[in-house]
Amino acid sequence: MRPYWRAFAGGIVAMIVFAATEAALPALLKLLLDGSFVERNPRYQHLMPLGLIGLFLVRGFTDYAHSVAMHSVATRVVLDLRQRMFERLLVLPTAWFHRHTGASLISHFTYSSNQINPIITTSLVTLVRDSLTVVGLIGYMVWLDWKLALVFFAVLPAIALIIRAVSRRLRGFSHGMQSTMGAMSHVVDEAIAGHREIRVFGGQQHEAKRFAQVNVAARRFAMKTIATSSANGPIVQGVAVLALAGIVWYASLTQQLSVGGFVSFITAMGLLLTPLKRLSNVNEVLQRGLAGAASVFELIDAEAEADAGRTRLERARGHLRLEGVHFRYPGAERDALAGIDLEIHPGETVALVGASGSGKTTLAALIPRFYPLQRGRILLDGIDLRDIPLADLRANIALVTQHVVLFDDSVAANIAYARPHTPEADIVRAADAAHAMEFIRAMPQGLATPVGENGARLSGGQRQRVSIARALLKDAPILLLDEATSALDAQSERAVQAALDNLRRGRTTLVIAHRLSTIASADRIVVLHEGRIVESGTHGELLARGGHYARLHAEPAKTEEGQT
């Protein structure tokens, strides 16, 4: 809240004034009763109405002022935290996303961050305003009769113990609710993404049961929270009423206070019950907000990608060399890559082939440093990749994968994603080279046509050609192609393959493919098996050897790619 300290301080001042008027009310009541009705003093009879009007005008203004000020601060704090979360999300390492579901991350932005708002607008206001009100009223009670006030003080330790016990329970329930809401978002996200599979394989009942389990769990936590919070107020008030009963009994015996004084004391006691109730119930909101804040700051404080490189790199020539590269995924039993030595010359096209799990995709992922290298080194133009700033390294790399990612924007915006202010003529040239303009021109709005969520309005081949146009427009010297044609029909594959031929021209290209017919023209084919290079050569040379590549070539033209 530090950047908004002025509004915050103004709200605090308004709360202090508002709390002071609370203690002024029973004081005015004493003057009204003793001065106007007992002593019949004309001065009090004329001034008291004006005093009451002035008091409530001050209360109304300060109540409005602190409410607006605190809500202004709270909404700005939530805005800042969401922005910081999103910016952190953009620099987290790839491995971090493997440990967290997309739905749970989304819940941080929609649910967890919203729980922080009431900490300021409700909890903080209650803690400051009502605490000051309680202090003011108790001070006034002590000033009226300290002996009667001691009776009330006797119950304060019991009230504190009750609030502490309730606080612990509410904190636990809030954490449980956070986890349950993340699980619920995950189930819904999977049901949306897999709606076709659910229908075809008859999984409606199973998914409904999964959702019912997390839905019931969410209700259970909500009811536990409500039950605990609801019981807290009556218990605290019950203890306070015991003190009130003792005060009435003692005052009736001693009869030391005037009528106005006694009514004023009882009024102050009565006014104490409402802020005490709010203070005892504030834990529900506070603990829920603190649990939400813990989730938010867990994301904000997550460690970003290591980026210690200081050797600037403008446009690379594209000379790659891998020396003794080892890599193992966390929890894996063996290395995904075990001692890879490979040199790729500028402008050369090298294809990586091998069975699922051989390490092809892992090797390609190490080039843009999606994962930190564990042993060995990878050099680009003689510079260790770890010495190059990530922004410089990735500016020299273009990526086209089987699972194309398009953004819910126009065709032109997706093609020009790496260069947002590119002239339309350059976008058209890139789309032409990618054989995409033929279908773009047929669209109602041409390049301005929205593609929908992840390109839902385009076919697989069209989406692939848009991604190739995006890579062409970036004009990076290094190109990574990961199964770029594996999911296409024959006609789409021919168009995409022609576009890829244009894309590869003059670039250092690393191709990953299971469909071996698509890599026959590669300058060199590298065969991987269990994380090691077992063969290397041209298509004809490897077939003539009759080794791993020949056996793969003899198998059905395509096998499904597994996760490497």
Of 141, 93, 345, the residue nearest 262 (C-alpha) = 141
Of 563, 545, 528, the residue nearest 554 (C-alpha) = 545
Cβ atoms within 10 Å of 92's Cβ, excluding its own: 16
418 three-class SS: coil
Of 289, 62, 69, 7, the residue nearest 171 (C-alpha) = 289
Q: Which residue's structure tokens are 């904000």?
A: 300
Whether 326 is in a domain gets the answer: yes
Output the 3-class SS for 354-373: CCCCCCHHHHHHHCCCCCCC
* Statement to judge: residues 434 and 357 lie in one domain: no
pLDDT given for residue 122 in this prediction = 79
311 three-class SS: coil
**How far is residue 149's CA from residue 243's CA, in Å, rounded to a whole number?**
9
Q: For position 265, which CATH number holds? A: 1.20.1560.10
Supply the DSSP string of 444-478, one letter for each residue: TTGGG-B--GGGTTS-HHHHHHHHHHHHHHHT-SE
Contact 212, 138 (CB under 8 A): no
* Statement to judge: residues 287 and 436 lie in one domain: no
For residue 165, give its domain range.
2-300
> Which DSSP category does 380 fall into?
E
Helices 42-89, 5-31: axis angle to 10 degrees equals: 160
Q: Which two tokens stand for residue 301?
A: 């404080």
* Statement to judge: residues 188 and 231 lie in one domain: yes
Contact 514, 485 (CB under 8 A): no
pLDDT given for residue 312 in this prediction = 92
Q: Across 133-195, where does the E strand assignment appear?
A: none
Supply the DSSP string of 67-107, one letter for each residue: HHHHHHHHHHHHHHHHHHHHHHHTTS-HHHHHHS-HHHHHH
Side chain identity at 244, as an amino acid letter? L
- Domain edge (last residue) among 264, 279, 300: 300
* Statement to judge: residues 88 and 233 lie in one domain: yes
Q: For position 335, which CATH number holds? A: 3.40.50.300
**How far is residue 96's CA from residue 417's CA, in Å, rounded to a whole number?**
24
Of 355, 348, 349, 337, the residue nearest 514 (C-alpha) = 355
- In total, the chain counts a number of residues equal to 564
Whether 305 is in a domain gets the answer: no
Q: Long-range CB contacts (< 8 A, 24+ apart) of 66-70?
A: 66/11, 66/12, 66/14, 66/15, 66/18, 66/125, 66/129, 67/121, 67/125, 69/7, 69/8, 69/10, 69/11, 69/14, 70/8, 70/11, 70/120, 70/121, 70/124, 70/125
Largest CA distance in the chain: 121
* Statement to judge: residues 198 and 80 lie in one domain: yes
pLDDT given for residue 477 in this prediction = 92
* Statement to judge: residues 77 and 106 lie in one domain: yes
pTM: 0.70
**Sheet of 320-327, strands arranged across:** 337-344, 320-327, 375-380, 383-384
Contact 484, 465 (CB under 8 A): no
* Statement to judge: residues 86 and 227 lie in one domain: yes
Of 429, 461, 468, 474, the residue nearest 447 (C-alpha) = 429
Whether 134 is in a domain gets the answer: yes
* Statement to judge: residues 485 and 471 lie in one domain: no
pLDDT given for residue 129 in this prediction = 82
* Statement to judge: residues 501 and 375 lie in one domain: yes
pLDDT given for residue 272 in this prediction = 73
pLDDT given for residue 9 in this prediction = 92
Residue 163, sorted as left (phi over 0), alpha (psi -120 to 50) or beta, turns out to be alpha
CA distance to 59, 62, 66, 141, 142, per residue, from 252 (Å): 33, 37, 40, 16, 18
pLDDT given for residue 435 in this prediction = 84
* Statement to judge: residues 194 and 267 lie in one domain: yes
- Domain edge (last residue) among 278, 300, 322: 300
Question: Which segments in the chain show pLDDT lower than 50?
Answer: 557-564
Domain count, the chain: 3
* Statement to judge: residues 39 and 106 lie in one domain: yes
* Statement to judge: residues 471 and 485 lie in one domain: no
- Domain edge (last residue) among 234, 267, 300: 300
Give me the helices (H) in 397-538, please. 411-415, 424-433, 437-440, 460-474, 490-504
Give the burial class of 87: count Cβ atoms within 10 A of its Cβ; 0-12 exposed, 13-18 middle, 19 or more buried. Answer: exposed
Q: Which residues contact residue 500 at a Cβ distance below 8 angstroms, ignoring those fewer than 6 apart? A: 400, 468, 481, 484, 485
**How far is residue 57's CA from residue 59's CA, in Å, rounded to a whole number?**
5
Cβ atoms within 10 Å of 557's Cβ, excluding its own: 10
pLDDT given for residue 438 in this prediction = 85
